[in-house]
């Protein structure tokens, strides 16, 4: 008889926010999404940008899961998109309407590293979104702050596409304290804490307010040893 082994998972994935209440440090972004919710989160394009490890993918998934069943969420890297895929997608989303999913009727597409969109894909996306998206579809782009600048510099059609998206720029400052508190909470829960909260603030600063990098350090036992160097 064999004993099932638990699949290892990083702390960052284990504690990726599954509710809006678990998302820390991005109150302005949440406030914007709360306002949009009054008229519905589906039927929109979102463009989420921010520094690495500040919550872009987490927000994308929280939006997607609010409007779509898990099997109705598709995640891809933007540089994997092709013109043929987008042409077929335009026909599909308008043909099938709200038939996707068993409970939540929307279909959500998360396209990461959006600065990797090809020029042809940008033009096709402009055509796809010219009259808005169907009410049962949401497209969510994510990119880093540097990627956002690269996209704007490299694409003549960047501004028209961005104008058709709800732009959500994540906070880059004042993250050390909320990130430190959440990281400390997780470390205590996992039995990986041996340092005061002040050292978690130093860890946040050392990691450039990258919450993923902070939890990687906790995962490796960094907060069970001596204080974190500033």
Instruction: List CB contacts of 227: < 8 A, sequence separation 6 or more.
Output: 195, 199, 202
Residues 156-185 have pLDDT tens digits of 888 999 999 999 999 999 999 999 999 999
Q: If pLDDT is split at 50, 70 and 90, which confidence band does 101 have?
A: very low
pLDDT score for 132: 87
What's the distance, Cα to Cα, between the start and end of the chain in Å?
51
What is the mean predicted confidence (pLDDT) over 120-142? Answer: 93
Sheet holding 107-112, edge to edge: 73-77, 107-112, 137-144, 44-50, 166-169
Burial class of residue 225 in the structure, from the number of CB atoms within 10 Å of its CB (0-12 exposed, 13-18 middle, 19+ buried) = exposed
Residue 139: name the closest of 67, 82, 34, 91 by CA: 67
pLDDT score of 93 more than 70: yes
Q: Say whether 218 sits in a helix, a strand or coil.
A: helix
Distances (CA, A) of 181 to 73, 96, 184, 227: 31, 45, 5, 16
Across all residues in the chain, what is the average pLDDT? Answer: 90
pTM of the model: 0.89
Residues 36-56 have pLDDT tens digits of 999 999 999 999 999 999 999
Q: If pLDDT is split at 50, 70 and 90, which confidence band does 1 have?
A: very low
């Amino acid at each position: 008889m064999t004993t099932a082994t638990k699949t290892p998972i990083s702390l960052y994935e284990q504690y990726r926010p599954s509710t809006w209440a678990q998302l820390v440090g991005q109150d302005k972004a949440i406030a914007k999404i709360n306002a949009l919710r009054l008229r519905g989160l589906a039927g929109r394009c979102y463009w989420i940008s921010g520094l690495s490890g500040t919550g872009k993918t987490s927000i994308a998934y929280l939006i997607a899961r609010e409007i779509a069943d898990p099997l109705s969420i598709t995640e891809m890297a933007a540089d994997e998109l092709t013109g043929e895929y987008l042409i077929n997608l335009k026909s599909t989303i308008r043909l099938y309407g709200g038939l996707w999913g068993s409970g939540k009727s929307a279909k959500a597409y998360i396209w990461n590293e959006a600065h990797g969109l090809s020029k042809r894909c940008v033009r096709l996306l402009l055509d796809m979104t010219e009259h808005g998206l169907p009410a049962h579809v949401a497209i969510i782009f994510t990119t880093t702050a540097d990627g956002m600048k690269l996209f704007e510099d490299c694409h003549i059609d960047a501004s028209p596409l961005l104008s058709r998206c709800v732009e959500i720029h994540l906070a880059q400052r004042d993250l050390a304290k909320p990130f430190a508190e959440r990281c400390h909470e997780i470390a205590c829960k996992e039995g990986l804490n041996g340092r005061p909260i002040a050292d978690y603030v130093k860890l946040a600063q050392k990691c450039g307010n990258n919450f993923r990098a902070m939890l990687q350090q906790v995962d490796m036992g960094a907060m069970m040893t001596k204080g974190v160097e500033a």
